[in-house]
A and B are shown apart, each in its own frame.
Chain A
């Protein structure tokens, strides 16, 4: 009797492993930067080219750093969500404009609205590499000490924000300065 059950058991084990495999997303590479301070950068702002956006600007508050570009189709999908979050004051959003042309970036912000406190202009993608960016859009959750606490790869949807990002923001907000 037990001998006859062996193939069935093997099948179940295999099915469970393959099932787990199906739920994983190989595109999502875990970032080694989680729980590390935001890498230092100093970029010119997209709108005010003569001003700088430094990594240290993000200290003292919980913020989102959203990597975006005018050529990125998925960014267009998440953009209305970011605008809504910024307008309702649910998130402090800063932008990293990745490998873009300044006039394209400005036109995009004009046309689709600007949810960012301000955006850094990373046309060479150097800061992107320091942040381990490999697929735009990407969003980092940064705590009050300027430490990266979470990274979301791909567009932020209402569900992603409600289920993953908002709980982290709330938890970090509650933490002492």
Chain B
């Protein structure tokens, strides 16, 4: 019973703590930009980078504390005159390709980049094989007669029914 209460208390703590953290640290520290272009560049860059804490959010969106810190780093690097490539390399060196929403093309990512096209080709191939298999043959005279009869009979039968 005591364990149950401890567990419940811990679970409630889990529910509460992210809120308190985001309230006190929400990414509201304003950045100052010397031009709208610079601001746009910062926005583009942080949207390309993934937050490691909430993995489906970009650095631009995330309110995680680490995301705020990394935004600060990106801002600092930008102000220091570093290029986008240099800033991205700074983060990739520390967190790996995972921080990139668009992973680079290399040995380990071939399947990721070309997999969908591979499946498309396989699907097209299967569809082609299945559809092609229907054999087309001339109908015999006997069948033709039967078909004609059936077609002739149909309206009458329908007429009888109604």
Contact = CB atoms under 8 A, between A and B. Distances in A.
- Contact-residue size bin, chain B (C-beta under 8 Å from the other chain): 10 to 19
Interface stretch (B35-43, B94-102, B145-153, B154-162): B94-102
Contact of B53 (A73, A125, A134): A134
Interface string B78-103: 00000000000000111111100000
Which residue of A26, A30, A125, A135 has the most chain B CB atoms within 10 A of its CB atom?
A: A125
Given A26-B55, A134-B52, A99 B65 contact: yes
A73 B14 CA distance: 9
Contacts of A168: none
B129 interface: no
B70 interface: yes
Contact of B96 (A26, A30, A73, A99): A30
Which residue of B65, B69, B92 has the most chain A CB atoms within 10 A of its CB atom?
A: B69
Main SS class of interface, A:
loop
Contact of A29 (B13, B52, B73): B52
Contact of B93 (A27, A32, A99): A32
Contact of B73 (A31, A129, A135): A129
Contacts of B52: 29, 134-135
B120 interface: no
Interface in B78-136: 92-98
Interface in A1-55: 26-27, 29-33
A81 interface: no
B55 to A, nearest CB: 7
A132 interface: yes
B69 A32 contact: no
A141 to B, nearest CB: 18
8 contacts: A29-B98, A32-B94, A73-B13, A73-B17, A125-B66, A132-B96, A134-B66, A135-B52
